[in-house]
Chains A and B, each alone.
Chain A
Amino acid sequence: MIELKNIEKYYSSKGIKHYVLRHVTTTIKQGEFVSIMGPSGSGKSTLLNILGMLEEPTYGTFEFLGEDVTSLNERKRIELYRNHIGFVFQAYHLIDEMTVYENIEAPLLYKKVGSSERASRIANLLDKFNIVAKKDLFPNQLSGGQQQLVGIARALATQPSIILADEPTGNLQSAQAEEIMQLFQKLNKEEGITIIQVTHSEKNATYGNRILNIQDGVIKEDSPTQAPQMGGVV
């Protein structure tokens, strides 16, 4: 579903090019659960942002669902966000003024989903993530882990085919992190959602089935995970 060909990204300052990504070429198929790893500053977030069309590569081509999306206009991009891509952020990025319910509802409203369909989907998600009791609370009334659950529920509301997550557990304790990772795994396994996450944790990476290791903007290693996959219910 994703084809990256020779992606390059650099920032120039004072005439000197600082490369962040070099010759990144890779394919990600539907249903994969990819973890991007690497030292700080190696270009992980940049790569994820390019995958999410939040940034444009300086060179190279990017195909998404068989379509060239290297540079898209805002309208088309938003169309993709509404139908195919869900974002999960390290800082959760919930909207402070909205309740849990409204946060999950917002993408559905933008997508113009009918009200009964909306209600049933939200009810479903609240139920699945065990946050029914919290639906009328505001983000600042939730713990970090709960906020991230809401963040994921929001990303899933439009039933995307891919989820892009930049250090989704970076701000969380290990127990909460584990919970989120198990959730990702379940979504990947049971609903076939493609997941690409950036992580610093070896352990988190093992929940996926493929690891891209980046160093200085170059993919140094691309390997399937071997570690025993932990099952479990969320």
Chain B
Amino acid sequence: MFKLNLKIALRNLWKNKTSSFINVIGLAIGLAACLMLLLYVSYEWNFDKQAKKSKDVYIVMTHITDDFGKDIFTFDGTPTSLSSTISSGIPEIEFVSRVSYDQNLLIANGENSFKKTAKFADADFIKMYDFEFLSGDEKTALLKPGSVILTQSMAQTLFGTTQVIDRTVRFQDKTDLKITGVVKDAPSNSSNKFDYLLPWSEYGKVDKAADDLSWGNYSFNTLVRLTENANILDVDNKMDRLVKGKAKWNHSPFFLFPLSKLHLFGKFENGKSVGGDIDQIWLFMGLAFGILLIACINFMNMATAKSEKRAKEVGIKKTIGATRKSLILQFLTESMVLTLLSIFIAIILVEGALPTFGNLLNISLNISFVEIKSWLAILGIVFFTGLIAGSYPAFYLSSFNPIQTLKRKIKSRGFLSINLRQVLIIGQFCFAIMLIISTIVIYKQIQFIKDKPVGIDVNALVDMPLEGELKEKFDLLKTNLLNSGAVSSVAQSSISLLHHGRNFSGLEWQGMSKAQNSILFNQVGTAYDFIKTSGLKLISGRDFSPQYSSDTVSVLISSAAAKIMELKNPIGSVLKFNKTDVTVIGVFEDYAWDSPYNANNPMIVYFNKDNSENVTMRLNPKQSLQENVSVIEKITKEINPAYPVQLNFVSSSYDKLLRKEKTLGILSNLFGGLAIFVSCLGLFGLVAYSAEQRTKEFGVRKVLGASVASLMQLLSLSFIKMIGVAIVIAIPISYYAMGKWLNNFEFHTEITWWIMPLAAISTLLMALITVSFQAYKTAKANPVDALKYE
């Protein structure tokens, strides 16, 4: 039976080319979209989950509250002392290690020098994960000071080979390190990715704070691995007891959080995870299955359109001994065959589109065809799709009573079938219209943020790290750059203009409501020409200037800071900063330095020539960009030959802050387009089928004198009405949903009235074109042909 069913399914596919084509192409697009999104979802979902014991690896989080226990924020920074404090006395902790945030540092083999991602960690770090050592002894690799572990690709880049054990690399143009191990590169979806790994003891050479055992500097991660099935609450409590005496807290701010969850559930409120990027994952899952469902609906609609014919078939087969089960199997065979055919096309489509798609999202995705898991997943999707697509004929039609279907005068259109079809079409177009509206709103929001004044003129701003020789010779650099004419102004600072950094320590002002400040201030150390270079607008006062020797104990504050400190007359006010009295000499307008979506924290700019990490330059607008850049590169390289020059455009950093929303925009645009296309494809199929069914009727009507226009109306009006209903349903839903989405942003655009008619009219137009094309063809046909046809 199965063989015959299969044969007939294939024969039907071949015979009804139009509807097969529509079904297969629609399903293939739906499946391809679904596969791509699922690939992306699985990439995100598997973040930090590759290692065998990854679920036992936790990161210590710090929950900062104010004096009254009110939530301030939660982050993954911890002080250096924590790890040694909890390393003994908590039996559940197998391994504990301090780990640095990613550091982009210089590593060289002779002339071959690169800035690559370095990480510093304690020896236990190696044991937490199953790093695959290509060479070297994993037990001792991270023990000795002066050692380094390279990844395979790092070794290749530096030496052209991975046989590099015991060779030396030069680090930061200062120290020679001995290579003690080469490990396989970590997958790109892991947060502990590095190009080279150094023992913690080396960290002090880059950041002195790393050498101190302190409870005050939260610039380091602490990772632990627990024994299997350890109770986290117990561990948290034990940690609490160990930490309590050490610092002045009433209770410990530390708690454990699974590292593998941080990526997707990294949004915290009150020290509890309240989601995060997982929301986006749900959204993408919804999109993936939404598109697939649209394609399945096409299939179902074609099936319901043909249900009259199929019902008769069911009736006949039942009288010759077919059971319901065998009929269900037959219908499912048909849809499975179709889905299988579609998945092959889908895989080809995915293979073709994946590189571009990956580029758009800035990650590399690929289907690993060698893994059984991916095949199982694909088969699962095929099965699921085939089942959904085939469910209507399989379960509904097969239940028909033979006599109903065989009687000559069976109601030509089942009440239920036409209704179901309408509902499905309306649902399809609802989804498509909602996607169009979302796309427009998302783009509008991105545009709104882009157009919002950031407070500084970022277009001619570049910055680069202040490192190596540059630190010592900053004044020479500044003079040379200014003399060259490539830049109009240069300033040094502790951090770049755009960064995620906030701090509430060390600041006091008069009339402060509490003994200790609990408001986060962005603190930037700088020297001369900060305002001039950045282009910040001074509201009152002046920039730092060498003319005033007292400027070394002066500060600039943002207008938000002035407001918070309630300074009536800010200029000349005296604040306490790091235990020193400092005078406010200038107030500048706020600018977006962290997130372009929210009002940023207040900012204080203090004078410090010695801890600068960054150079900001304003390019000379009179010269071409290339010229300026090459001059800067040349001058910098001369002074600091060991380091590659890393010029960064501040405007591109701003663009990066919009990445997440851009991704969302791209995806909803892409998949919205696909949804509309597949929906219209289905509509086309239905109109084509109904036109074919009514060829004779149309012939008769034409002979009786009906006009082409009236025939077209006859054929397309009901479809257009359905789109109308879809519009009416979709608009309020998307208005509500997008309103909610926009409310996530403190600064957001409005949903203007024209978006709705725009989406509605464009959808209607597309549907109209689809329908009329076929309707016109049918209506124009020669009546004689139509009547002869019977």
Shortest Cβ gap from A88 to chain B (Å): 10
Having A110-B320, A110-B322, one finds 7 other A-B pairs with CB under 8 Å, namely: A54-B406, A81-B318, A93-B312, A95-B317, A96-B313, A106-B322, A110-B326
A81, A97, A109: the one contacting B11 at CB < 8 Å is A97
Structural contact, B408 and A91, CB atoms closer than 8 A: yes
Instruction: Tell me the bound Cα distance from A96 to B309 in angstroms.
Output: 10
Note all chain B residues with C-beta closer than 8 A to A132: none
User: B8 contacts the other chain (Cβ, under 8 Å)?
Assistant: yes
Shortest Cβ gap from A195 to chain B (Å): 16
User: B704 contacts the other chain (Cβ, under 8 Å)?
Assistant: no
A52, A55, A107: the one contacting B321 at CB < 8 Å is A107
User: A190 contacts the other chain (Cβ, under 8 Å)?
Assistant: no
User: A49 contacts the other chain (Cβ, under 8 Å)?
Assistant: yes
Shortest Cβ gap from B222 to chain A (Å): 67
Note all chain A residues with C-beta closer than 8 A to B401: 54
Contact pattern, A 44-57, Cβ under 8 Å of B = 1, otherwise 0: 00000100101100
B312 nearest CB neighbor, chain A only:
A93
Note all chain B residues with C-beta closer than 8 A to A78: 318, 321-323
User: B206 contacts the other chain (Cβ, under 8 Å)?
Assistant: no
Structural contact, B8 and A89, CB atoms closer than 8 A: no
Note all chain B residues with C-beta closer than 8 A to A105: 4
User: B403 contacts the other chain (Cβ, under 8 Å)?
Assistant: yes
Note all chain B residues with C-beta closer than 8 A to A155: 320
A54, A97, A154: the one contacting B320 at CB < 8 Å is A154
User: A24 contacts the other chain (Cβ, under 8 Å)?
Assistant: no
A45 nearest CB neighbor, chain B only:
B407
Shortest Cβ gap from B95 to chain A (Å): 63
Instruction: Tell me the bound Cα distance from A75 to B15 in angstroms.
Output: 33
B7 nearest CB neighbor, chain A only:
A102
B interface residue numbers (CB < 8 A to A): 1, 4, 8, 11-12, 15, 312-313, 315-324, 326, 401-403, 406, 408
Instruction: Tell me the bound Cα distance from A111 to B323 in angstroms.
Output: 10
Shortest Cβ gap from A191 to chain B (Å): 19
Name B's interface SS.
Answer: helix
Structural contact, A102 and B12, CB atoms closer than 8 A: no
Structural contact, B4 and A93, CB atoms closer than 8 A: no
A54, A95, A96, A111: the one contacting B402 at CB < 8 Å is A54
Known: A89-B406, A110-B1, A110-B326. A98 touches B321 (CB 8 A): no
Structural contact, A75 and B323, CB atoms closer than 8 A: yes
Instruction: Tell me the bound Cα distance from A74 to B401 in angstroms.
Output: 10
Shortest Cβ gap from B411 to chain A (Å): 15
User: A82 contacts the other chain (Cβ, under 8 Å)?
Assistant: yes
A interface residue numbers (CB < 8 A to B): 49, 52, 54-55, 74-75, 78, 81-82, 87, 89, 91, 93-98, 102, 105-107, 109-111, 154-155, 158
A-B contact pairs, 14 of them (CB 8 A): A54-B402, A55-B403, A78-B322, A91-B408, A93-B312, A93-B315, A96-B313, A97-B15, A97-B313, A102-B8, A106-B322, A110-B317, A110-B321, A110-B326
Instruction: Tell me the bound Cα distance from A97 to B312 in angstroms.
Output: 12
B312, B320, B324: the one contacting A87 at CB < 8 Å is B320
A83 nearest CB neighbor, chain B only:
B321
Which 4 A-B residue pairs are closest in the complex by CB-CB distance?
A: A82-B321, A110-B321, A107-B320, A54-B403
Interface centre among A74, A82, A87, A106 (most CB of B within 10 A): A106
Structural contact, A110 and B323, CB atoms closer than 8 A: yes
Structural contact, B320 and A106, CB atoms closer than 8 A: yes
Instruction: Tell me the bound Cα distance from A158 to B320 in angstroms.
Output: 9
Instruction: Tell me the bound Cα distance from A81 to B402 in angstroms.
Output: 12
Shortest Cβ gap from B656 to chain A (Å): 58
A106 nearest CB neighbor, chain B only:
B320
Shortest Cβ gap from B648 to chain A (Å): 66
Instruction: Tell me the bound Cα distance from A159 to B312 in angstroms.
Output: 24
Note all chain A residues with C-beta closer than 8 A to B320: 81, 87, 106-107, 110, 154-155, 158
Shortest Cβ gap from A76 to chain B (Å): 11
Instruction: Tell me the bound Cα distance from A89 to B401 in angstroms.
Output: 16
Instruction: Tell me the bound Cα distance from A94 to B1 in angstroms.
Output: 17
Note all chain B residues with C-beta closer than 8 A to A52: 319
Note all chain B residues with C-beta closer than 8 A to A97: 8, 11-12, 15, 313
Instruction: Tell me the bound Cα distance from A107 to B317 in angstroms.
Output: 8
Shortest Cβ gap from B562 to chain A (Å): 82
Structural contact, A106 and B12, CB atoms closer than 8 A: no
Shortest Cβ gap from A24 to chain B (Å): 18
Interface centre among B15, B401, B406 (most CB of A within 10 A): B406
Structural contact, B324 and A109, CB atoms closer than 8 A: no
A90 nearest CB neighbor, chain B only:
B408
